[in-house]
């Protein structure tokens, strides 16, 4: 199992809830729960449908989503930061 993320801070809960990594994680978990899990390709990557849905709902500072769309006909997991995750649960970015 991947290790858990521990956040030690004096920030207010609302400030933490707005942090991009927590928003992305929440969207990832909510999508998995709503659809009974996420679909993986034979190679173990996140499906294009799940990748696109997470891409559409995730906001990252200084990340130009328009430029990603401009150079990709479809979105594979490796095309979209910060979605890619190693098999051991560590993020690739």
- Supply the pTM of this predicted model: 0.65
Continuous segment of H or E residues that includes residue 21 = helix 20-34
Q: What is the pLDDT of residues 34-82, one digit of tens each?
A: 999 999 999 888 899 998 888 888 777 777 888 888 999 899 888 876 5
Instruction: Report d(CA 49, CA 31) in Å as an integer.
Output: 11
User: Which candidate, 17, 39, 14, places its Cα nearest to that of 26?
Assistant: 17
Q: How far apart are CA 51 and CA 69, in angstroms?
A: 13
Residue 85's pLDDT band, with cuts at 50, 70 and 90, is: very low
- Neighbour tally for 20: CB within 10 Å: 13
* Residues 41, 84: Cα–Cα separation, whole Å: 13
**Residue 88: pLDDT over 50:** no
Retrieve residue 78's tokens.
């490796």
Reported as a pLDDT band with limits 50, 70 and 90, residue 7 is low
Confidence at residue 8, expressed as pLDDT on a 0 to 100 scale: 65
């Amino acid at each position: 199992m991947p290790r858990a993320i521990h956040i030690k801070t004096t920030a207010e809960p609302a400030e933490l809830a707005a942090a991009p990594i927590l928003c992305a994680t929440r969207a990832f978990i909510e999508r998995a729960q709503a659809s009974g899990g996420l679909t993986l390709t034979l190679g173990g990557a996140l499906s294009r449908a799940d990748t696109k849905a997470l891409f559409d709902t995730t906001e990252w500072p200084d990340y130009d989503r328009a430029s990603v769309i401009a150079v990709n006909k479809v979105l594979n997991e490796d095309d979209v930061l910060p979605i890619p995750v190693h098999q051991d649960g560590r993020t690739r970015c």
